[in-house]
């Protein structure tokens, strides 16, 4: 990982809120197709009580982010994970994912789930490296003809 990479939980009262959210929205627009992007509703998503967002920065430059939620007391979801192109392959995504898993795990959930496009080979490899298993293929999850694997990571009961 980059020596200067720092992971921060975005707080609503942060003085950097607008700058960070604006940069995350730019990343979101570059990484995800328009119909999958939360760019228009990003602020609303972050206002939800059961959602969190971590971002990484290197020398003040936002390098990636992960959004997660805990819709039930038993499970949580990784809803978005993106890393700027020039920071990919440097451990930023893995660090973000592991930190989000820790945050979800601190809520005493038994499972973390996510969905991933089977064509996103590096993302699938990252999720498997972090212990996620493939549940099943959901046809036309993203759009007609664009499927997703549902993946999960289970924890032992405390």
Does 29 score more than 80 pLDDT? Answer: yes
Residue 37's pLDDT band (cuts 50, 70, 90): low
d(CA 99, CA 104): 9
Element counts in the chain: helices (H) and strands (E): 4, 7
Tokens of 2: 């980059």
- The confidence score (pLDDT) of residue 60 equals 82
Considering the entire predicted model, what is its pTM? Answer: 0.89
The verdict on domain 5-154 having CATH code 3.40.630.30 is yes
Spatial strand order of the sheet with 133-143 comes to 5-9, 51-58, 61-69, 75-83, 111-116, 146-154, 133-143
Cα angle value 45/154/53 (rounded, 5°): 20
pLDDT digits (tens, 9 = 90+) for 89-109: 999 999 999 999 999 988 889
Report which secondary-structure segment, H or E, holds 19.
helix 17-31
Which residue ranges make up each domain of the chain? 5-154
- The confidence score (pLDDT) of residue 51 equals 87
Residue 158's pLDDT band (cuts 50, 70, 90): low
Does 34 score more than 80 pLDDT? Answer: no
**Percentage, residues of the chain above pLDDT 90:** 54
């Amino acid at each position: 990982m980059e020596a200067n990479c720092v992971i921060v939980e975005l707080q609503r009262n942060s003085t950097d809120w607008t700058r960070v959210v604006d940069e995350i929205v730019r990343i979101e627009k570059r990484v995800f197709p328009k119909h999958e992007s939360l760019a228009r509703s990003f602020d609303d998503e972050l206002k939800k009580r059961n959602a969190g967002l971590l971002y990484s920065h290197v020398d003040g430059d936002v390098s990636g982010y992960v959004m997660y939620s805990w819709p039930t007391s038993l499970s949580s979801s990784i809803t978005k994970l993106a890393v700027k192109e020039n920071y990919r392959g440097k451990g930023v995504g893995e660090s973000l994912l592991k930190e989000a898993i820790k945050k979800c795990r601190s809520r005493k959930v038994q499972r973390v789930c996510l969905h991933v496009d089977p064509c996103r080979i590096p993302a699938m490899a990252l999720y498997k490296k972090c212990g996620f298993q493939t549940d099943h293929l959901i046809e036309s999850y993203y759009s007609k003809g664009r499927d997703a694997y549902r993946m999960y990571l289970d924890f032992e009961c405390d």
